[in-house]
Amino acid sequence: MDLGELTRALAQFRDERDWARFHTLRNLIVSLNLEAAELLELTQWKDDAGVAALLADNGGLEALRDECADVLLYLLMIAEKGGFDLLDAAAAKLEKNARRYPVEACRGSSRKYTQFGPAAPDTRAGRVV
């Protein structure tokens, strides 16, 4: 199943239950963040060894899969509501990040792209950062 098929199946699931009226863009974004928090909660108070143990445990791995799936499903619903293709948006963002983070300037560095030198154009709201 590709993302388009998954989005259509998700919309059908939603529509069969008459939930579209609850799925405003704002509500979907809020719900995405709640699901992301549930994903984060899986690693709360764990060090790297604890997270590795989570992956080794069938119940822990299932919980991780479920929370990741919830995040993906909300992202798909947000993209559907926003009228854009999520794969296209992700590919465009990857290209933008490749320009913002040139290998020669950032390899092995955790610095933000704004710390690499002259201001880089940022297309959000016509700003330059």
Q: What is the pLDDT of residue 129?
A: 41
Domain-located, residue 93? yes
Q: What is the largest CA-CA distance in the chain?
A: 52
For 65-98, what is each residue's pLDDT tens digit?
Answer: 999 999 999 999 999 999 999 999 999 999 999 9
Domain with residue 84: its CATH number is 1.10.287.1080
For 1-21, what is each residue's pLDDT tens digit?
Answer: 999 999 999 999 999 999 999
Question: Do the Cβ atoms of 74 and 14 come closer than 8 Å?
Answer: no
Domain-located, residue 70? yes
Q: What is the pLDDT of residue 113?
A: 80
For 98-129, what is each residue's pLDDT tens digit?
Answer: 999 999 888 888 888 878 765 445 555 554 44
- Name the β-bridge partners of 128: 121
Domain-located, residue 72? yes
How far separated are the first and last CA of the chain, in Å rounded?
Answer: 39
| Two structure tokens written together for 31 | 């719900």
Q: Total structural domains in the chain?
A: 1
Q: What is the pLDDT of residue 26?
A: 98
Provide mean pLDDT across the span 47-69.
97
Q: What is the pLDDT of residue 112?
A: 84
Q: What is the pLDDT of residue 119?
A: 47
Q: What is the pLDDT of residue 115?
A: 81
**Distance of alpha carbon 99 from alpha carbon 106, whole angstroms:** 11
Domain-located, residue 121? no
Domain extent, residue 52, equals 3-109
pTM: 0.82
H or E, element range at 122: none
